[in-house]
Amino acid sequence: MLVSAKEMLQKAKAGHYAVGQFNINNLEWTKAILLTAEEMKSPVILGVSEGAGKYMCGYKTVVGMVNGMLEELNITVPVALHLDHGSYEGCLKCVEAGFSSIMFDGSHYPIEENVAKTKELVNIAAEHGMSLEAEVGAIGGEEDGVVGKGECADPQECKTIADLGVDMLAAGIGNIHGKYPENWEGLSFETLDAVQQLTGEMPLVLHGGTGIPDDMIKKAISLGVAKINVNTECQLAFAAATRKYIEEGKDNQGKGYDPRKLLAPGFEAIKATVKEKMDLFGSTGKAE
Ligand code: 13P
Is any atom of ligand 1 closer than 6 Å to the C-beta of 232? yes
Q: Which of 179, 206, 230 to mutate to test the pocket of ligand 1 (most atoms within 8 A of CB)?
A: 230
Q: Which of 187, 210, 216 to mutate to test the pocket of ligand 1 (most atoms within 8 A of CB)?
A: 210
Q: Mean pLDDT over residues 128-144, rounded?
A: 84
pTM: 0.96
What's the CA-to-centroid distance between 259 and ligand 1, angstroms?
27
Which atom of ligand 1 lies closest to the CA of 141? Answer: 3
* Domains, the chain, ordered by start: 6-281 (3.20.20.70)
pLDDT digits (tens, 9 = 90+) for 173-230: 999 999 988 888 899 999 999 999 999 999 999 999 999 999 999 999 999 999 999 9
Which atom of ligand 1 lies closest to the CA of 23? Answer: 9
- Quickly count: other Cβ atoms within 10 Å of residue 68's Cβ: 11
- Quickly count: other Cβ atoms within 10 Å of residue 156's Cβ: 12
Q: What is the CA radius of gyration of the chain?
A: 18
pLDDT digits (tens, 9 = 90+) for 140-177: 775 555 555 578 999 999 999 999 999 999 999 999 99
What's the CA-to-centroid distance between 251 and ligand 1, angstroms?
31
